[in-house]
A and B are shown apart, each in its own frame.
Chain A
């Protein structure tokens, strides 16, 4: 399904050019009906999700600099890839993220403050997937979640809740991972299982070109999309900074997977504009010219130009700017108001059923801290430690 050029290199699918014009190609024309089916409101919603995610990133980076987060993981530059696939999912789908899919989290109804609670050191989770449109928890160990996603998708087949041919009912799974993760054994094993069991799963690879300091060429000498074919999984490479390409190809592939077509693979070519995390300094290992080249391909300015060209008025963009400012200050104030967890959080959910060792240690800590009286360690203000 790759659209190869005569030299054999894949040509990424693009529906909007970097300057916001409608892109023309055979592949684009085939996918156009998916975009034509979108109403104005859904196009606006895509833009809104990208803009709010960008604001989320900016506010969170500031919070990290101010010491309010243990870590921040920027998504700047990857909003187009993420919002496109997020909007291509259907409500019944399950999403297994890595840890940079903030736009997908927001699109599927996760409170951004819950994402920040994880990075503030208040929780290892943050939300219940069952109550957040099946958006599963972030996974920090690279690539592990792709196997969980595959197993979940295999279960859908076993339960018979997929493959009936009704796209409004059939369930599917999206697993997210990055270019670095493609080197992990778990990701290869996930592709093996998904292909073998014809799992209703979309493997969504965001190739942001850098695994911390290591360029994608160290992970693969071949375009990563070419790997999919070796596993027997149809793959498509897309311009990941084109939200409509991400939407259309993901919509096509997810619906193919959910209606019995087996797994699909998308490689979204994008770029990590920011650092790997707030602990990283990318100026140590990458060239500014490369960065500037990708800033010029920004997914948000591209889509804004596209929307304006099709007649969207100024008011929409100015209103959205105001909404984003409110959104930013709201999440900041709600995060800072989030109470620090108590020690019970350590003990209470290690097991689903009572456990004598954990119960004994929880009781011991409570008694130990009570022994300090009014100045117990739990009561010492955090800044004083």
Chain B
């Protein structure tokens, strides 16, 4: 065992909590899933002795061995395609794609094969494959290392798409994703790997595909996922200081979207701002805006507004602060929503 979690407090009936970064929480979630189910395998580039370039699989190679923590050849199509075959053979593979921008060599296997095989087998075959993808900006990295490609996968029928924003959710959602009999795209906000948060090791909280209110308010609803939730909470703080009451929701699941809490919030506030790092055109935010307009039209006091990355390639690192939506950009949209 390496780096085992030491719960702060454990009793027979009470909660067991610990404090972890999001990356370490996923590491612990993977360890738990592998311990509980011998069919779970990890596959990816540099995930073995190195522990992955972000160290999310740190220690797992030593603990579970090279047959369950598989350093693959450098080939994303190969990783996903062979994971499909392993899943056909009864394994539950968890693939790591090293960076968001490197998922595209595996795109065909994900969208044309993995997503469709259960359908083509008319239900006779399940595809319990998880694809972990570190994504998003805020780390000042070079090209292909800061992108948010989640909309491509949310657009693809047959895939489930989730993204945790907190260490607690990360610990539980990775286990729930592995337990799912469907393929799950698991987008990890890499800028949140290191900040620590409390993880309740006994109570998962809401289900994998639930959205969740993380701050209550009355005048405007802010909705986002992954690292954007942190930005939305900053915006809510600033708004509160200026006398505006903002509610913040963490989307958590991009496909399917859990509209219950979103519609409930919009019916209360009458205003919705959806924020995302990804470009706004044909995005997850676009879909949510359309659905909320359809389902809560008479509750809306303002059009649903999107705050997004621009519709350009993710820029060189020196421009990322101008590209990525920050609290100011969110508040600009809040002001516009309130002006109606």
A residues engaging B (CB < 8 A)? Answer: 70-71, 118-124, 140-142, 180-181, 183-186, 211-214, 218-219, 279-280, 284-285, 340-341, 343, 345-347, 350, 357-358, 361, 365, 368-369, 377-378, 382, 385
Contacts and interface: CB of A to CB of B under 8 A. Distances in A.
B318 interface: yes
6 contacts: A141-B102, A181-B74, A341-B318, A345-B319, A350-B311, A368-B332
Given A124-B313, A214-B46, A343-B322, A279 B74 contact: no
Contacts of B71: 213-214, 218
A306 B332 CA distance: 67
Interface in B293-334: 310-313, 315-323, 326, 328-329, 332
A358 B142 contact: no
A124 B323 CA distance: 15
Interface stretch (B47-55, B201-209, B253-261): B47-55
Given A120-B318, A212-B45, A346 B312 contact: yes
B50 A365 contact: no
B140 interface: yes
B105 interface: yes
A21 B322 CA distance: 57
Contact of B313 (A284, A350, A357, A365): A350
A345 B49 contact: no
Interface of B: 45-46, 48-51, 53, 71-75, 77-78, 101-102, 104-105, 140-144, 281, 310-313, 315-323, 326, 328-329, 332
Contact of B140 (A121, A123, A124, A343): A121
Interface pairs A-B: 9 shortest CB-CB: A121-B317, A213-B50, A183-B73, A180-B74, A183-B75, A346-B315, A121-B318, A213-B46, A183-B74
By DSSP majority rule, is chain B's interface helix, strand, loop, or mixed? loop
Given A123-B316, A142-B74, A350-B313, A118 B45 contact: no
A350 B312 contact: yes
A347 B45 contact: no
B105 A121 contact: no
B67 to A, nearest CB: 14
A211 B318 contact: no
Contacts of A185: 75, 77-78, 105
Contact of B316 (A280, A341, A385): A341
A184 B74 contact: yes
Contacts of A118: 142, 316
Contacts of A219: 73-74
Given A184-B74, A186-B105, A365-B310, A140 B142 contact: yes
A183 B45 CA distance: 12
Contacts of B77: 185
Nearest to B308: A361
Given A340-B318, A350-B313, A121 B142 contact: yes
